[in-house]
């Protein structure tokens, strides 16, 4: 079992009694930095991140999982971090997304819905000399390489 999988198991164990929290990603970098990203339906607080960090760190040390020195970082994914899970998409319904698709094209639109198979976005269609219109587009996750939330300062 990889280090990442062991850490995923430890995080899932720690948050099993918190249905509002969910694991987003775990990455072990070659420089010894172990990053754990956890989010919640209503966000995640520092106390939750600290509790997860203590739990994971304790068990990694107890079982001597990582032999070299490492730095464990537990946080929520930033607003610029790509969406990875259905729950993240659902949390961001109503927000605008920038999508990079597998065919190399890009789309932007308001996230209308998300389910286990894909998302529904509302795209603004502009044709020179005509009034902009809106169209709904269904995209399966298999067509999405990367999705990020667009930040609006309006």
Sign of CA dihedral 10, 14, 18, 22: negative
Of 86, 145, 143, give the one whose Cα is nearest residue 111.
86
What mean pLDDT comes out for the span 48-70? 92
The pLDDT assigned to 109 comes to: 96
Q: Do 145 and 121 reside in the same domain of the chain? A: yes
Cβ contact 83:149 at 8 Å: yes
| DSSP code of residue 98 | E
Q: Do 53 and 98 reside in the same domain of the chain? A: no
Lowest mean pLDDT among 14-18, 76-80, 100-104, 121-125: 76-80
The pLDDT assigned to 131 comes to: 87
Asked if residue 55 is part of any domain, the answer here is: yes
Per the structure, the complete domain to which residue 13 belongs is given by 3-75
Q: What pTM, to 2 d.p., does this model score?
A: 0.82
CB burial string 56-93: b at 16+ within 10 A, e below = beebbeeeebbeeebebebbbbeeebbbbebbbbebbe
Strand 21-28 and strand 133-140: pairing? unpaired
What mean pLDDT comes out for the span 93-104? 96
- CATH number of 26's domain: 3.30.300.20
What mean pLDDT comes out for the span 64-76? 90
Mean pLDDT for all residues in the chain: 93
Asked if residue 81 is part of any domain, the answer here is: no
Asked if residue 80 is part of any domain, the answer here is: no
Cβ contact 76:44 at 8 Å: yes
Cβ contact 118:129 at 8 Å: no
Q: Do 11 and 63 reside in the same domain of the chain? A: yes
């Amino acid at each position: 079992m990889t280090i990442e999988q062991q850490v995923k198991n430890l995080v899932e164990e720690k948050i099993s009694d918190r249905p509002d929290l969910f694991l987003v990603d775990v990455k072990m970098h070659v420089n010894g930095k172990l990053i754990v990203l956890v989010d919640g339906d209503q966000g995640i607080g520092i106390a939750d991140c600290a509790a997860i960090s203590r739990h994971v760190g304790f068990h990694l040390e107890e079982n001597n999982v990582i032999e070299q020195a490492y730095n464990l970082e537990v946080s929520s994914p930033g607003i610029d971090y790509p969406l990875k899970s259905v729950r993240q998409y659902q949390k961001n319904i109503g927000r605008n997304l920038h999508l990079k698709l597998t065919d190399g094209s890009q789309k932007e639109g308001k996230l209308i819905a998300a389910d286990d198979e894909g998302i529904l976005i509302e795209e603004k269609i502009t044709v020179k000399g005509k009034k902009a219109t809106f169209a709904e587009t269904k995209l399966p996750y298999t067509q999405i390489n990367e999705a990020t939330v667009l930040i609006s300062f309006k």
